């Protein structure tokens, strides 16, 4: 049982760059083992926004090559692989991040609709009362989005919207991405090296 492994799901909201940078920093700085799941819509977004073209199903090798990280740290699970560790509480995965989290995936998690491995993995984390962190991105937000988020928050899910601050005087997009990635890593209790901190 690998209690330190982290499940990461990339879904089809804008902001695939947050997921790629999070994976890169967790592997480089924290030597984390990652169980990765990529939705079909996320593949479209990664191609559109990050010039990352992935096969169907995607491979760990392609993502590791793109990020220049060790492939051994990444376990990529097809969305119908019900034998993958994230599909069962007995595998012992204690933390899961959905980044970026589409409103579709968020609503399905809130409704307990375990259609793909991503939703099943989140459902497992919830039933086991472990850590689930969602990084939604949509604007403006409808009452449906807000109600689902409130429901999840009341269940102990952490909602960390992709809303970077500007008080650290970002010099470019990379700084804005790191702002969100560092907040995610803080909340996972895996603080990022050199993170800018208020009052420091
Ligand atoms: C380029 C692109 C950007 C998108 N941006 C968002 C977004 O920011 N938020 C969102 O909720 N959906 C967004 N969508 C729509 C979702 O991808 C769509 O609802 C999809 O069904 C989500 O599937 P998934 O939850 O399985 O990944 C975007 C789609 C594309 C192609």
Which structural domains are found in the chain, ordered by start? 6-187 (3.40.50.1950)
pLDDT for position 197: 87
pLDDT for position 200: 79
- CA atoms within 13 A of residue 79's CA, in its CB half-sphere: 17
pLDDT for position 196: 83
Count of positions (residues) in the chain = 200
Average pLDDT per run of 10 along the chain, which is 200 residues long? 85 98 96 97 98 95 95 96 97 98 98 97 98 98 98 98 95 97 97 87
pTM of the model: 0.97
* CA 2 – ligand 1 centroid, Å: 31
Q: Which of 8, 10, 11, 13, when mutated, tests ligand 1's pocket best, judged by the most ligand atoms within 8 Å of its CB?
A: 13
What b-and-e string marks burial along 131-159, b requiring 16 or more CB atoms within 10 Å of the CB?
A: bbbbbbbbeeeeeebeebbeebeeeebeb
pLDDT in tens, 136-176: 999 999 999 999 999 999 999 999 999 999 999 999 999 99
Q: Is the CB of 44 under 6 A from ligand 1?
A: yes
Q: Which of 9, 51, 102, when mutated, tests ligand 1's pocket best, judged by the most ligand atoms within 8 Å of its CB?
A: 102
pLDDT for position 1: 58
Residue whose Cα lies nearest atom 3 of ligand 1: it is 14
How far apart are alpha carbons 131 and 116 in whole angstroms? 19
């Amino acid at each position: 049982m690998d209690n330190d492994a982290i499940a990461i799901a990339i879904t089809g909201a804008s902001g695939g760059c947050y997921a790629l940078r999070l994976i890169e920093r967790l592997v480089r700085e924290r030597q984390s083992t990652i169980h990765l799941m990529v939705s079909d819509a996320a593949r479209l977004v990664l191609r559109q926004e990050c010039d990352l073209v992935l096969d169907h199903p995607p491979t760990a090798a392609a993502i590791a090559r793109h990020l220049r990280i060790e492939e051994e740290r990444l376990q990529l699970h097809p969305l119908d692989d019900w034998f993958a560790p994230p599909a069962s509480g007995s595998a012992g995965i204690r933390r899961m991040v959905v980044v970026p989290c589409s409103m579709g995936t968020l609503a399905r998690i809130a409704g307990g609709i375990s259609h793909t491995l991503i939703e099943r993995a989140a459902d497992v984390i919830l039933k086991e009362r472990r850590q689930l962190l969602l990084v939604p991105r949509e604007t403006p937000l409808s009452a449906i989005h807000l109600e689902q988020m409130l429901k999840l928050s009341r269940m102990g899910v952490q909602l960390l919207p992709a809303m970077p601050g500007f008080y650290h005087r970002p010099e470019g997009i990379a700084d804005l991405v790191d702002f969100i990635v560092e907040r995610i890593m803080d909340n996972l209790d895996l603080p990022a090296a050199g993170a800018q901190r208020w009052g420091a």
